[in-house]
Amino acid sequence: MNELSYRRAFSLQLRKELTQLGRRYGSVLTPLLFFAVVVALFPLSTDPSPQRLATIASSAVWVAALLAAMLAQQTLFRGDFEDGSLQLMALSALPLWLQVIAKQMAHWLVSGLPLVLLSPLAAYSLNMAPQGYTTLMVSLLLGSLSLSSLGAIGAALTVSIRQGGLLFAVLVLPLMVPVLILGTQATELASKGDNAAGLLNMLVAICLLSVTLSPFATAAAIRVSLD
């Protein structure tokens, strides 16, 4: 296995995913739309005064982002499992973990990144103090990368189960909770004008750990699911 075939494994999978996601924009837009709707529903379910909204803004945006990420991740391998492509990927001489990284990256580019870019708009609609926007975006950037990596493990483990949705949530939600806590707290602190560097550093650590280690766990989970 040389450098060239590593690069080929990555580009092959990335190009395939981006092409097919580009043609299925309906399923790509669903999590984003879901995110926007959840954020828009929060003011309706509580006292809609600007002061009140500002206090819940960071948690509302983060919970909406977490749920949208889960929605996007749950079916990550479903299509490939159903049409048999996953078997082909597992049987290829190209490393499966690398193919997993490429696939995950393509999905993050179309579902995670737009969420990060949209988040200031959501925060603005909930009257969050503008000084918190940068931290919100940075924490969501780190958070969405972690969520997509953790979600991939769950998606790979539950792909062969017909009604895997509930199991996916039970498996993945506990892993996502620390990310949620750190993310909301960091945003909260920053929007009050405090320094959130400590919490962001911890998010960086979680992000690095999950992004680097999860592809191996995901690849192993795929092999188990194909058995």
Partner 1 sequence: MSIDSVSTLPQNTYPNVRVSATGLELWRGDRCLFNDLSFTLNLPVLHVCGANGSGKTTLLKVLCGLTITERGNVTWTHDKRILTTGEVRGQLAYTGHQEALNPALTVAENLQWGAGLYRELSNDEIQQATEEHQLDSLTSLLACSLSAGQKRRVALLRSVLSHVPVWVWDEPYANLDAAGVEWVNALIEAHVARGGCLILSAHQKPAINPEQVQTLGLTS
Residues that bind partner 1 (CB under 8 A): 8, 12, 15-16, 19-20, 23-24, 79-80, 82-85, 87-94, 226-227
The answer to whether 190 and 136 are in contact (CB under 8 A) is yes
Kindly tell me which of 3 and 47 has the beta carbon lying closer to partner 1.
3
Shortest distance, CB of residue 225 to partner 1, whole angstroms? 10
Which residues touch 90 (CB under 8 Å, ≥6 apart)? 96, 222, 223, 226
- How many Å apart are CA 48 and CA 51, to the nearest integer? 8
The answer to whether 95 and 172 are in contact (CB under 8 A) is no
Shortest distance, CB of residue 85 to partner 1, whole angstroms? 5
- How many Å apart are CA 1 and CA 112, to the nearest integer? 31
Shortest distance, CB of residue 217 to partner 1, whole angstroms? 18
Shortest distance, CB of residue 107 to partner 1, whole angstroms? 14
Shortest distance, CB of residue 86 to partner 1, whole angstroms? 8
- How many Å apart are CA 21 and CA 155, to the nearest integer? 17
Which residues touch 173 (CB under 8 Å, ≥6 apart)? 70
Kindly tell me which of 83 and 194 has the beta carbon lying closer to partner 1.
83
Kindly tell me which of 94 and 169 has the beta carbon lying closer to partner 1.
94
Kindly tell me which of 209 and 224 has the beta carbon lying closer to partner 1.
224
Kindly tell me which of 98 and 207 has the beta carbon lying closer to partner 1.
98
Kindly tell me which of 27 and 134 has the beta carbon lying closer to partner 1.
27
Shortest distance, CB of residue 9 to partner 1, whole angstroms? 8
- How many Å apart are CA 200 and CA 224, to the nearest integer? 35
SS3 157: helix
Count of residues for the chain? 227
